[in-house]
Amino acid sequence: MGSRIGVGLLGLGTVGGGVASILLSPDERHPLVADLDLVRVAVRDLARPRPVDLAADILTTDPGDVVNDPAVDVVVEVIGGIEPARSLILQAISSGKSVVTANKAVIARHGQEIAEAAAAAGVYVLIEAAVGGGIPIIEPLKQSLGGNRINRVSGIINGTTNYILTRMADEGAAYDAVLRDAQDLGYAEADPAADVDGLDAADKIAILSTLAFGGAVERSAVPTEGISQLQGVDVDYARRLGYGVKLLAVAERMAETGDPLPLSLRVQPTLVPTDHPLAGVNGVNNAILVEGDPIGRVMFYGPGAGAGPTASAVVADILNIAGIRHASDAPGHIDPLLAAGTWRNCALVEASKIRQRHYVRFNTKDAPGVIGRIGGCFGDRNVSIQSIVQFNASQAGAEIVVITHEVSQGEMDAALQAIEALPEVSGLAAHLGCL
């Protein structure tokens, strides 16, 4: 029933600084914050100026000093990346310490190994900060929705791309120009690949899927498409048809059940109807929609990144460990809801079986009957169409935009192949998802 909790920090960058700043100013926060002692902090360079005032003797350049310090009860890992983060987390666990991490890359790839080590050691590895920045989403999924059969988790879970898409939509601006601007403003990294190619969102949806469905899937197999190929013209056409374009991450169970449970995961630029709750999520905000039975549909919305929000999530996890320590000091006895171990096998379905609506744009000759022939190709392959619209007809040709009803990827691919073989069609110019 020890009431004080020793916290060790691995990393004192933006998020680490935010965490330290909360721990050092407990006033007006939950009284349990005052029970958290920041006892050891690993930094890369002792001489660098700090955002917070820390006693020199708690700083070290050796992360091993933090994970092995007997005064440290909870290790907070905010250095990011795969290694040495993974090894340090495992080392902390084997020293009997709980871990709080904001590291989606390591959890998406090595979450199972880490969870098993934690279960064996009887400690917690908590990850609220790994998805959705400050938005409480991990904890609600683990502790508030357990009575439900979850059917789908979907959302906007990358702030950088949502900032870019929001500006493309608002200003009619081109992707490249907005990206440069976002880099200047610090919203995008100098190497933006992890964000704009959808890799960060894929890490996060793999994590949410594991929690929602109780089993992990192979992260590297998640179909992932970013926004770097997205053209302004499709954002414009989508708007005219009543949709916004968002980089959407989706994890859903298929209609049939089974062991392993078949799941469809994907990250893809997706048309969202303007009256859908996710359509109004703009700028660097994130939102996650959870659909289940009997709850229906709930959404969690807020700042998806930033020092303050992410630090709020890290401190929430530390507080949960501190709180449960009051209820039990019996080592090895853990709350299975908070620990969130997996409890069934899940597997990704083949890409051809993924079902959704599609948006496609074709460049065509402006020839009579082309809409009919395209429509016919879809119909022949069982692809039912919601709308087919011609834009921008000129001597050079026309653009034809089709929005389908829900179909399998396999049926869609077959139809597209037939359409691209039509003499009037010069090419498939865009292919996006559609809610």
Q: Considering only residues 188-227, where is the footprint of its own copies by CB under 8 A? A: 214
Footprint (CB under 8 A) of its own copies, residues 339-368: 343
CA-to-CA dists, residue 358 to 127, 250, 279, 385, angstroms: 33, 14, 17, 9
Give the range of 93-101, 163-171, 289-297, 420-428 binding its own copies by CB under 8 A: 289-297
Residue closer to its own copies (CB basis): 70 or 336: 336
Q: Does 302 bind its own copies (CB under 8 A)?
A: yes
Candidate ranges 55-63, 171-179, 292-300, 349-357; the one touching its own copies (CB under 8 A) = 292-300
Question: Which residue lies nearer to its own copies by CB, 143 or 231?
Answer: 143
Stretch that binds its own copies, among 19-27, 50-58, 383-391, 406-414 (CB under 8 A): 19-27
Name which of 103, 188, 132 is nearest 303 in CA terms. Answer: 132
Instruction: Identify the residue among 68, 94, 112, 144 touching its own copies (CB under 8 A).
Output: 144
Q: 133 or 226: whose CB is closer to its own copies?
A: 133
Taking the complex as a whole, the smallest distance from the CB of residue 317 to its own copies amounts, in Å, to: 9
Examine residue 299 and tell whether it contacts its own copies (CB under 8 A).
yes
Among 80, 232, 273, 292, binds its own copies (CB under 8 A): 292
Pick from 240, 297, 353, 405 the residue near its own copies by CB under 8 A: 297
The least CB distance from residue 40 to its own copies, in Å, is 20
SS3 sequence of the chain: CCCCEEEEEECCCHHHHHHHHHHCCCCCCCHHHHHEEEEEEECCCCCCCCCCCCCHHHEECCHHHHHCCCCCCEEEECCCCCCCHHHHHHHHHHCCCEEEECCHHHHHHHHHHHHHHHHHHCCCEECHHHCCCCCCCHHHHHHCCCCCEEEEEEEECCHHHHHHHHHHHHHCCCHHHHHHHHHHCCCCCCCCHHHHCCHHHHHHHHHHHHHHHCCCCCHHHCCECCCCCCCHHHHHHHHHCCEEEEEEEEEEECCCCCCCEEEEEEEEEEEEECCCHHHHCCCCEEEEEEEEECCEEEEEEEECCCHHHHHHHHHHHHHHHHHHHHHCCCCCCCCHHHHCCCCCCEEECCHHHCEEEEEEEEEECCCCCHHHHHHHHHHHCCCCEEEEEEEEEECCEEEEEEEECCEEHHHHHHHHHHHHCCCCEEEEEEEEEEC
How far is it, in rounded angstroms, from Cα 184 to Cα 83? 28
Q: State the minimum distance, in angstroms, from the CB of residue 3 to its own copies.
A: 10
Q: Using CB under 8 A, which residues numbered 108 to 137 contact its own copies?
A: 128, 134-136
Is residue 385 near its own copies by the rule CB under 8 A?
no
Q: Which is nearer to its own copies, 84 or 302 (CB)?
A: 302
Q: Among residues 204, 246, 353, 365, which one is catalytic? A: 204
When asked if residue 388 is in the footprint of its own copies (CB under 8 A), the reply is no
Nearest Cα to 204, choosing from 190, 222, 189, 227?
Answer: 222
Size of the site for its own copies (CB under 8 A): 67
Q: With respect to its own copies, which residue has the nearer C-beta, 121 or 419?
A: 121
Query: Least separation, in Å, of the C-beta of 171 and its own copies?
Result: 16
- The residue from 117, 199, 235, 315 that contacts its own copies (CB under 8 A) is 315
The nearest distance, CB 302 to its own copies, in angstroms, is: 3
**Nearest CA-CA partner of 98 in 257, 317, 391, 405:** 317
The yes-or-no answer on residue 204 being catalytic is: yes
Complex with its own copies: residue 16 or 63, whichever CB lies closer: 16
Find all residues with CB under 8 Å of 180, minimum gap 6, and list them.
none
Q: Which one of 4, 44, 149, 180 is in contact with its own copies (CB under 8 A)? A: 149
Give me the least distance between CB of 319 and its own copies, in Å please.
5
Site stretch for its own copies (CB under 8 A), options 92-100, 107-115, 229-237, 301-309: 301-309
Tell me the catalytic residues.
Answer: 204
> Which residues sit at the interface with its own copies, rule CB under 8 A?
1, 18, 21-22, 27-33, 128, 134-136, 139-140, 143-149, 214, 257, 275, 277, 280, 292-303, 306-309, 311-316, 319-320, 322-324, 326-328, 330, 333-338, 343
